[in-house]
Amino acid sequence: MVTSADGFGCSCAEHSVPVGIDRCRPCNATEVVSSDGTACVPRKCQNVSGRIACRKCPNDYVTVTQNIDGSPLKEVQCVKCARGYKAENNVCVRCQSCACAKHQIIVRGICVPKSYVNSRPKYEEGSLHPLALLDVVKHEYLCTQNDIRACRTLANECVKNFYSIDPAGPCRLWIQSNLPTPKGLPRLIVESTLEDKNPGEVFLTRKQQDYLLIATAKFSSDGGFKFIKEPEQRLQCRLPIQVRIGRDFAHDCIMNVSKLTDDLNETLSPYLYADGKLVQIPVYPRKPNGYSIQKGSWLSSKFKRYFLVDNFLSTVANITSTVYLRTMVIQLQIERDKTTASSLKVHISVEAVYASKSPLSETVTMTLRVVHVMPDAGVHRGLEIWGGLLGCLLSLYAMVQWRGVVRRGGLYVSVVPLLSGALADTLYFAAWIATLHALAAEAGTLGLTLPLSLREERIIRAFVYSAVSLKAVKVAWLNFNQCRCDMFFLDWSEYNAPFKGVSPTEKYNSWRAQTLAREWSGLQTMRRVSPGYTVTLALIILHALSPWQSYLPPSQGYRWAVATIAWWSSYVILLFSRLVGDRLRGSPTAGLPKICTSVGLSMIVFEEDYYAHYVHGRTVYKQLSLSLPGLGEAETRQSLLSRFLAAFFERALDGLSWVASERTVLERLLNVELNTREAGNTSTLLYDPDDSTPSCFAVTWWGEEWSLATYDAMLFSGVFIATNDPLVAALTTLVSWQIMMQTRKWFGNRNQREKTEIDF
């Protein structure tokens, strides 16, 4: 005896019968307990090789153990249920399908007219299991009889079969126009009306309306309907969600398939909830094989519903495969309303990408991704204007520079780096100005700033990368030219012996030439503004601007424009600080003439074959460049300089005519040669009046500050726009500067040793 089910008494255990008021007797293995539980009734059994085998009743039979009067039978009997009944739990119950008329046929427990089944086309798609196809026929017939629950169940099956276009599939009632439409048949496509020509569109006219709520409607197979518009934080990969305009994001969720059983018999429909109104969002499903749904007989390719997970039984084997929603992509295409300048038009669509679950794992990864297709912010127009203007001016300036280089004896191929530098500046500054203009214009649209479009982002990247590459050509060329220039150190003591009989070579002191050589070596890579200070100050400015940048949209182009502002702000601040410091303390370039005067040496540096820079060490330049009344007859400074330099070059090169000519203001400002001065065999010596900086600094980094500064800015911008990390961009710029400086210094010192034969 065991405790009874209610816990308040005792009863006989399973396969036992009572014997008295407090005792039970178990039945043998060849016996079963009678229906009333009072006796053991033998079964028909036989002994086969020492093993006892007993008869079992077929599925459509019930087991009888008692007579009509309740007395136990001598042996268990199997009795078949009468017509109109079926065996369930060893009891014959009445079956409605068994009472079908002669013109009807049983289909999954209901009576369906044979004419209806015979009139259906043959199913040829082959994706449905035969039992599942019978369920489809069943719900399809019930739906034609205006059974709303059956219509919704059939709609779920149509959606889960990816809107099948087979005329005998689960979508038959939707795609065959010759069939009468049942009253309760749900709509599965998004149809445009006269009021709403473009489904999934909404207009944003309210200020600060930068959030959109995408809700969902849930349909169950039993006819249930539920509308959900409150986002749940735990289910970030499902609808409903709240989307901020201009912010792309993606969420990955790892889920257990066994916990998704509640979603097997449900389909969902997305809606845009705006201003208390519901806007239907079209869905574009994509099958596990990667193909989208063929339009076929559907009136529209914009569908309404999708599903999360479903089990499909194989048509050839008893294997169940699970298909789940792998990725949902919500695309928001934003356009400007041409009729109203203060409103935006947002078109939303959903792409549902499905995949098959691997049988080796019970977990799947579901992804929800939001992608924005932004309108053009006017960057292209700005690039056309500023690119054309800057391109013309800088290209013209590059050609004027090339003309001067050729006249100085330079190579004709120098037009390539000069045009490369001009084109790099054009691309860089045109993109920067156009982006800043677009940012300023976008800030006033509906109280929110939209990101740049993908096309504009790509063209800005292309412009910046191209500018870095072209500017690198210009920087490499100028370093190459500076490392191959010819230079001469002139020791005046060799030509002016202190007394007769002393050989100039014996009086020559090498330490003076070495002193001048070391000074020149240190000045070759001197910059007006050190990139190390520029990088540091730019990072500080970016950090100070970080609270303001949080209000900007997540656009890489806008971030690059702000980072460029920080870079050039730091550069301008440091440059003006350097100019003020040089004005107060004196320029470091003034030390070279003082060294030449102290050691009694002069230096001539040939930048090109016909163009050289002279730093004297014996006379004061201002005394020669001015008319001195004490000399007697007032002479012009040109004639005075001509006489002086003619006397100088007479010692070095006899038989040449030299004429001194002052450079114009425009020539000094742009560092070009515009005027044609002398013809024939007469050479021209150009000089700049009242210029404290020796002209020889044109063949050092000091004279190429613009090219080097723009190269640093372009390199910083290129790395920043590629990595979105200002620290990586700063480190890359510093490393590039150090490598270039060490390379330039090594090649420059080698060139100096080869040309002057002075080891320092």
Q: How many C-beta neighbours within 10 Å does residue 749 have? A: 17
Using the predicted structure, report yes or no on whether residue 651 has a pLDDT greater than 70. no
Residue with tokens 């590039």: 736
Q: Which two tokens stand for residue 165?
A: 């276009």
Q: Is the pLDDT of residue 640 over 80?
A: no
What sign results for the dihedral spanned by CA atoms 102, 103, 104, 105? positive
- Distance of alpha carbon 162 from alpha carbon 332, whole angstroms: 24
- Range of lowest pLDDT (185-199, 492-506, 582-596): 492-506
Within 10 Å of residue 241's Cβ, how many Cβ atoms?
22
Question: Quick one: pLDDT at residue 632?
Answer: 45
Maximum alpha-carbon separation in the chain: 162
Q: What's residue 447's pLDDT? A: 59
Answer whether residue 498 shows pLDDT above 50: no
The better pLDDT of the pair 661, 81 is held by 81
What pLDDT shows up at residue 677? 65
Phi, psi of 166 (to 5 degrees): -70, 130
Identify the pLDDT of residue 422: 95
At which residue do the structure tokens 């040109």 appear?
A: 638
Non-local CB neighbours of 628 within 8 Å, separated by 6+ positions: none
Name the 3-class secondary structure at 36.
Answer: coil
Mean pLDDT on 287-314: 85
pLDDT at 687: 65
pLDDT at 633 over 50: no
**Token pair in block for residue 721:** 């726009």
How far CA 510 is from CA of 422, 516, 753, 755, 756, in Å, comes to 44, 10, 14, 15, 12
Q: Are 440 and 710 in contact (CB under 8 A)?
A: no
Helix (H) or strand (E) holding 658: strand 657-662
Number of other CB atoms surrounding residue 641 within 10 Å:
21
Alpha-carbon gap, residue 736 to 739, rounded angstroms: 5
* Centroid of chain to Cα 413: 40
Predicted model pTM: 0.69
User: pLDDT tens digits for 2-17?
Assistant: 888 888 888 899 889 9
- Judge residue 499's burial from the number of C-beta atoms within 10 Å of its C-beta, 0-12 exposed, 13-18 middle, 19 or more buried: exposed
Beta bridge partners of 332: 348, 372
pLDDT of residue 641: 52
Average pLDDT on 294-319 reads 82
676 backbone dihedrals φ, ψ, rounded to 5°: -95, 115
Q: Are 564 and 713 in contact (CB under 8 A)?
A: yes
Of 414, 336, 759, the C-alpha closest to 607 is 414
CA distances from 73 to 31, 39, 81, 498, 717 (A): 11, 10, 19, 153, 98
- Select from 94, 98, 93 the least CA-distant residue to 110: 98
Burial 24-44 (b: 16+ CB within 10 A, else e): eeebeebbbbbeeeebbbbbe
Q: What digits encode the pLDDT tens for the residues 556-609?
A: 899 999 999 999 999 999 999 999 998 888 888 888 888 888 887 888 888 888
- Show the beta-strand stretches assigned E in 10-109: 10-11, 16-18, 24-26, 31-33, 40-42, 45-48, 51-54, 61-66, 72-80, 85-88, 91-94, 104-107
Residue 468 has pLDDT above 50, yes or no: yes
**Please, are residues 624 and 640 in contact by the beta-carbon 8 Å criterion?**
yes
Strand 110-113 with 104-107, pairing: antiparallel
DSSP 619: S
How many Å apart are CA 519 and CA 539, to the nearest integer?
Answer: 33
Q: Among 250, 225, 228, 224, which Cα is nearest to 237's?
A: 250
**Given this model, what pLDDT does residue 689 score?**
63
Give me the mean pLDDT over the 421-442 stretch.
92
3-class DSSP state for residue 461? helix
Mean pLDDT check: name the lowest of 214-218, 486-490, 550-554, 682-686: 682-686
> Measuring CA to CA, which residue among 602, 621, 605, 643 is closest to residue 495?
602
Q: How far apart are CA 568 and CA 436, in angstroms?
A: 14
- pLDDT, tens only, 153-168: 999 999 999 999 888 9
Decide if pLDDT at 344 tops 60: yes
Q: What is the pLDDT of residue 690?
A: 57
pLDDT surpasses 90 at 178: no
Q: Rounded distance, CA 28 to CA 681, Å?
A: 137
Is pLDDT at 499 greater than 50 in this prediction? no
Residue ranges per structural domain of the chain = 2-81, 97-175, 201-373, 379-588+703-756
455 token code pair: 């096309």
Other beta carbons within 10 Å of 548: 9
Judged against a pLDDT cut of 70, whether residue 756 lies above it is answered with yes
* Residue whose tokens read 């459509």: 60
**Residue 43 contacts residue 54 (beta carbons within 8 Å):** yes
When mean pLDDT is compared across 434-438, 609-613, 712-716, the lowest value belongs to: 609-613
The token pair that represents 342 in the structure block? 């203060």
Q: What is d(CA 200, CA 418) in angstroms, rounded to the nearest whole number?
A: 53
Residue range 221-226: mean pLDDT, rounded: 78
Q: What is the 3-state secondary structure (H, E, C) of 368-408?
A: EEEEEECCCCCHHHHHHHHHHHHHHHHHHHHHHHHHHHHHC
- pLDDT value at 691 more than 80: no
- pLDDT score, position 623: 46
Lowest mean pLDDT among 319-323, 579-583, 670-674: 670-674
pLDDT value of residue 130: 86
Residue 98 pLDDT grade (very low, low, confident, very high; cuts 50, 70, 90):
low
The confidence score (pLDDT) of residue 627 equals: 47
Pair 514, 760: CB distance under 8 Å: yes
**Residue 569 near residue 577 (C-beta atoms within 8 A):** no
pLDDT of residue 392: 94
Q: pLDDT class for 265, splitting at 50, 70, 90?
A: confident
What pLDDT is recorded for position 446?
53
Handedness of CA 269, 272, 278, 279 (dihedral sign): negative
Work out the percent of the chain whose per-residue pLDDT is above 70: 84
Q: What is the CA radius of gyration of the chain?
A: 47
Lowest average pLDDT, out of 1-5, 89-93, 256-260, 266-270, goes to: 256-260
Lowest mean pLDDT among 196-210, 427-441, 730-744: 196-210
Which residues, 6+ apart, have CB-to-CB distance to 225 below 8 Å? 217, 218, 219
Tokens describing residue 76: 């268990």
